[in-house]
Every structure is written in C-alpha cells, then in structure tokens.
Structure 1
C-alpha cells in the first residue's frame, strides 16, 4: 500500500501532464485543415479553370500591340477601317473574330493575304487581338444608294417569304448588333465589303458557313447590293 506522500506526488505529476495530453486531440483535429491549402494549390483541370474565368488569360494590351504591327495597315486604327474593301473590326464579337482568324490560318476560309497574316498568330494572339478590337468604339457607316435602301430594309427586316428567304434581322438583330458568339455584328460595315462576302457565299468561294451559303444563294445581285447598303447605315 502506497504512502500518502507517494499518492500526493503521483497526483501532482498527473496534473502537470494533463495539458500536454489534452492538446493531442486538438492538434490531430487541426491536421486536416493544415493540409487543405496544399490540396487547393493543386492545379485545377483546364476546363474548370476556363469555366471559372473564361477571359483570365486574355490580354487586350498585348492585342493592341500585335494589332498595331500586323493588322492596322488594312483595318485602321482601333479596327475602324477606312477602306471599303477591308472590313471594320471594331466592336465585333471577339469569339467571331477568333473563329475567322483560325479559319483563315487553316485555309477553311480561303484568302491568301489573310492566311499569310493569320499564320503568324498563335491562338493566344488571336484572342488578345479580338479582345482589343471588340472593345473599340465603331465608327458609323452610311447608305449610299437611296433607290436601293428601301429594298434592302425590306429584305433585312422581313426576308422574302415567297422564296423562303429569312430576314437578316432574325440572326443579326434589327440594329445589326448580331448575337455574341453566334452571329457577327453587321451595323455600319462597308457596303462593298458586305456585298463581296454575300457574293462569295452565293458563288461557293467562301465556304465556312453553310447557313450563309444557303441564304445568299437566294439573292440576286441587286438584292445583295440593296441589303449591303442598308446594313451600312444601321446604327
């Protein structure tokens, strides 16, 4: 049997040992929390990163610099081309610009001049350029042929039902703003350029939109000029 002194000593030792033993469960419970940052630091899957921040890597400033060395001579400052043969790019939907540049580069949209320029661009360059010009204010355009503009308005807004020709406004919107990532902005575009593209679609020269090829096939030259002129004056 232990003496009272030895019992007191044992109780004292147990008392001093308790805090150290009591902290063990807390320390082990905190361990998962400490490991959480390491798990969060692991790279997310690429599709998850895009979903979280689709424009996270787009650099409009880099796009402006690249545009200034590759594109500005033909498409004008900020994408506001002053030459009827070269399209205005300002305020265009970035996804549409990227698609066209990719198809110039691959040859899906044949154009020797544009293929030469697009071949110099990476996908990142294309996205940066598209982000830059898409954010620029578009200069207004004007209709030139008053005799044709009423016909152009009729076709653009109502189509031609007797020939199952849909209204352009159905896809490109009544004011020509288009629908982002689906249909391009048309308002204010040079009428000569728009007419040239409609003819190219109709004649099978431009083949990167089956939908537009089918629609343009139903238009005659006069109707194409009329629609293109009406589009030039859209706001």
Structure 2
C-alpha cells in the first residue's frame, strides 16, 4: 500500500510539472496567469507532500506493536493441570509464551473451599491491546467451564475451573470499568508473587516501583503456595 501511495503521488507531481513546462513554453501567457499557475503548482505540490506524509504516518500507526504481558492462571475444579494445557491450545495465535512458572498449589485466597488451587504465571508476547487480550482470555474461561456468579458481597470468590488474570502489560497503567493494570491485588497475594518472581524477579511494578522479588520478600500474606514442579 505504501509503495502504491508513493508511486501514485509521483505520477501526480509529474503531471503538475508537465503542465508547468507547457505554461512556460507559451510566450503568449500573460505574466499574471503564469504567476498564478506557478503559485498553484507550489500549493498543489505542498498539499501532495503533506497528504503523502499524513498517509505514511497513518500506515506506520497501524504497525503491530509487540507487548510483553504477565498472566496468572488459576483453578480448583476438575483436572486443572490439563485445563491449563487446553487453554494454551485454545489461545494459540493470541500470544507467544516466552516462559512459564512452575505450578503452585495453595489454599483458597479470600474464600472458603475444600478444593486447593493450582496457579501458574505465563510471561507472553502479544500484539493485542489489553482490551482485546482480555476478551480472548474471557473466551477461554468460558470455553473451559468458568461460571461467573455475581457475588452477594463484593470481593467474594468462588470455586472455578479456570481463571486467567492479566497482571501486567509492560509498564502500562490502566484504570477502566473492565480492566485495571497492574492487577490491583497482585502485591497482596503470596501465591501470585511466588510464581511471577520465578519467571521475572527483576520486573518493576510500574506503580509501586518495586521488583516482584522485593514484593515477595515483603509480602505479609499467610497463604503460601507449594511449588509442585
């Protein structure tokens, strides 16, 4: 598209220059008319250059921007390990997994349940913006049986087959109705910090300005996770 744009612009400029040469060859053209055509040529030339620049700038704005993100997978119903594997297959094409933490097993956080949780952090690279990435992750949760029940008390949690949280998208800070970045509670959860510190111990929290390893060392959460593999 860019080459075609440049090529077409060149043809237009050539046509303008040819028209200008014809004007100069005509000795009968009044001086005022000749000056007017010269000015017209200059303005059209400037317009074409600006239009070309604008189109090139727009095309560059459409380039795919690769972003690194950290995702936390969790679940406590069914074969969670196998669900993680299936989720990876389902999300193929949404991102590239750069590294994975070990699996961590922990007691439920913020809720009461007899089912222990498995968690894992993925460090990924994606061209999706955070909102589109969230939509892909929600689709995966739905695909593998996640039922979202509106809690009677805000902040309550339920057993689930699959939960995928976006912890970080680079150093992006975002606060919207659907997504908050960084994840607002990650620094309060030892099981999250254990997993993310394994894959990216030096990553700096863009709001707290502390590394994940520092946050883990200073986390007061009593719900510790057991590393499985």
Same fold (TM over 0.5): no
Structure scoring higher RCO (CA < 8 A, sep ≥ 6) equals 2
Q: Which interval holds the TM-score relative to the shorter structure?
A: 0.3 to 0.5
Select the structure of larger CA radius of gyration: 1
TM-score normalised over the length of structure 1: 0.33
Structure in which a larger fraction of residues adopt strand: 2
